[in-house]
Amino acid sequence: MKLLIVGNGGREHALAWVCAASASVTEVLVAPGNAGTAAEPRVRNAPVGASDIPGLIALARAEQIDLTIIGPEGPLVAGIVDEFRSAGLRCFGPDRAAARLEGSKAYTKEFLRRHGIPTAAYRSFTRADFDAAWLRAQRAPIVIKASGLAAGKGVVIAADAGEALATVQAMFAGQFGSAGDTVVVEEFLAGEEASYIVMADGAHALPFASSQDHKRIGDGDTGANTGGMGAYSPAAVVDGAVHERVMREVIGPTLRGLASDGTPYTGFLYAGLMIDASGAPRVIEYNCRFGDPEAQAVLARLRSDLPSLCMAALEGRLAGQRIEWDERAALGVVLAAAGYPGASTPGARISGLERAAALPGKIFHAGTERRGDAVLTSGGRVLCAVGLGAGVAQAQRAAYDLVSCVDFPGAQFRHDIGYRAIARER
Ligand code: AMP
Ligand code: GLY
């Protein structure tokens, strides 16, 4: 089988890496990929951008691709799966209608409410119907979200009504482009977050291992929200009882609700959950794809054959499929460029990758490109160093051993990835 992975981040490097290891796979193309995917055995980059849907269809045809797996949300929300399907090509991911679960937070909140799926109380507004008096009357902290896609940066937790008002006004004024034309205001949820990712075939869900992301840029969960600065798997907060509740109260009703609305969901479905002290899950957000950096930690533990599972999902055969995991914990630390999550300047030279390759674990690339003999930074999140260990503390040690090998000017990373789980282990 010949595969195409669409995207150029750490998640796509991890997807290409696990797929290339499959006995049923002869070659994996990544469009456009990065310096890390280019260096993997049986993997080749193709210079087609992730949002160039006609170019990707032409590539899949020319290369006789058997299965395309979409990494990022952009092309999914734009309808890449519909277009591949119309062209008679197999493509793993939700179609445009199902991908609205990530593409519009206002739609998702209404969907969750209509189907009785637990989530924070909310109201959504456009500039035309915004109710400033209502907002001022809300209890702080107040959560403000741009409804559309904003690369994980369109959420502000306002400490008081003044900050909330200013945030809403900035979003209406175009801070996130059209993503902020509609703004969702919601209740602040207390608890511990977890990422719960399943594979769905339109009706059934196969749960993947749980994980926990670290969204803030700074140690101790301080500073700006990012796309994710590190993750580990499994997430201790998702114990057996919580897992049961998530499947029964969240994932099951979501897949049934989508099917009964006429928009059945096939692909990776990522529930961002808040788990309260009683173990009750609430949906913070849905993503229509695997998480990044969750994929790097979760897929490092995958023992089953991913391409076969994708094929089973596309053929509606997920019921009864099993999935196996390395018993060890995995933990990934993201190295980001100076300036991230704001704008960063590309072109910094990365050193120490060969030294890191001699250690156990794996460095996945994100914003990197090869220029002659050098590997240079080319994006905000640059690398993700993943270690494995008997527990999260050991996995953390292995990951930071890798981090200490590599460097580039201005590199920033968190020093405390996994701290909640490690406190529990103690
Ligand atoms: P989102 O992009 O919706 O996942 O939001 C980004 C981050 O903001 C989440 O990972 C949470 O840490 C935080 N967040 C979002 N909504 C809420 C909420 N209702 N209560 C508390 N924290 C939230
Ligand atoms: N790590 C969060 C995300 O992928 O959205």
- CA-proximal residue: ligand 2, atom 4 (nearest): 291
Across 149-167, average pLDDT? 86
Confidence of residue 131 (pLDDT cuts 50, 70, 90): confident
Same domain membership, residue 197 and residue 179? no
pLDDT in tens, 26-54: 999 999 999 999 999 999 999 999 999 99
Residue 151 has pLDDT above 80, yes or no: no
- Give phi and psi for 314, each to the nearest 5: -65, -25
Across 197-205, average pLDDT? 97
Same domain membership, residue 302 and residue 238? yes
Cα atoms in the Cβ-side hemisphere of radius 13 Å centred on 43: 26
**Residues in a beta bridge with 335:** 383
182 within some domain: yes
pLDDT of residue 115: 97
Question: Is any ligand 1 atom within 6 A of the Cβ of residue 186?
Answer: yes
Q: How far is CA 249 from CA 43, 150, 195, 213, 280, in A?
A: 40, 28, 15, 22, 9
* Ligand nearest to C-alpha 150: 1
| Neighbouring residues of 306: CB distance < 8 A, sequence distance ≥ 6 | 15, 18, 19, 22, 299
141 within some domain: yes
Domain with residue 21: its CATH number is 3.40.50.20
Q: How far is CA 253 from CA 23, 100, 152, 284, in A?
A: 35, 17, 25, 16
400 within some domain: yes
CA distance 73 to 208: 19
Residue 59 has pLDDT above 70, yes or no: yes
pLDDT of residue 153: 72
135 near 142, Cβ under 8 Å? yes
Kind and range of the H or E element at 322? none
257 within some domain: yes
Same domain membership, residue 272 and residue 163? no
Give the nearest ligand 1 atom to 145 CA: 3
Domain ends where: 78, 95, 112? Answer: 95
Give the nearest ligand 1 atom to 282 CA: 19
320 within some domain: no
Confidence of residue 215 (pLDDT cuts 50, 70, 90): very high
DSSP letter, residue 154: -
More confident residue, 63 or 130: 63
Same domain membership, residue 308 and residue 206? yes
Range of the domain at 71: 2-95
Peptide bond into 207 cis (omega under 30): no
102 within some domain: no
10 Å CB burial of residue 425 (0-12, 13-18, 19+) is middle
Same domain membership, residue 225 and residue 143? no
For residue 1, the one-letter residue type is M
pLDDT of residue 269: 98
Give the nearest ligand 1 atom to 190 CA: 21
- CA of 292 relative to ligand 2 center, distance in Å: 5
pLDDT in tens, 306-352: 999 999 999 999 999 999 999 999 999 999 999 999 999 999 999 99
pLDDT of residue 375: 98
383 near 400, Cβ under 8 Å? no
Same domain membership, residue 334 and residue 305? no
Same domain membership, residue 310 and residue 237? yes
Confidence of residue 225 (pLDDT cuts 50, 70, 90): confident
Across 209-214, average pLDDT? 96
Domain with residue 176: its CATH number is 3.30.1490.20
Angle at 342 between CA 338 and CA 70, to 5 degrees: 100
pLDDT of residue 426: 87
- Give phi and psi for 394, each to the nearest 5: -70, -40
Cα atoms in the Cβ-side hemisphere of radius 13 Å centred on 333: 29
DSSP letter, residue 412: B
Same domain membership, residue 387 and residue 406? yes
258 within some domain: yes
Kindly report the pTM of this predicted structure: 0.95
Question: Is any ligand 1 atom within 6 A of the Cβ of residue 193?
Answer: yes
Domain ends where: 162, 187, 212? Answer: 187
Mean pLDDT of the chain: 95
Residue 152 has pLDDT above 80, yes or no: no
- What is the tally of structural domains in the chain? 4
322 within some domain: no
CA distance 155 to 225: 8
- CA-proximal residue: ligand 2, atom 5 (nearest): 291
Domain ends where: 279, 314, 349? Answer: 314
Residue 262 has pLDDT above 80, yes or no: yes
Q: How many C-beta atoms lie closer than 10 Å to residue 23's C-beta?
A: 8
pLDDT of residue 105: 87
Same domain membership, residue 199 and residue 308? yes
CA distance 150 to 216: 15
Same domain membership, residue 138 and residue 78? no
Same domain membership, residue 235 and residue 167? no
Same domain membership, residue 362 and residue 391? yes
pLDDT in tens, 374-421: 999 999 999 999 999 999 999 999 999 999 999 999 999 999 999 999
pLDDT of residue 287: 95
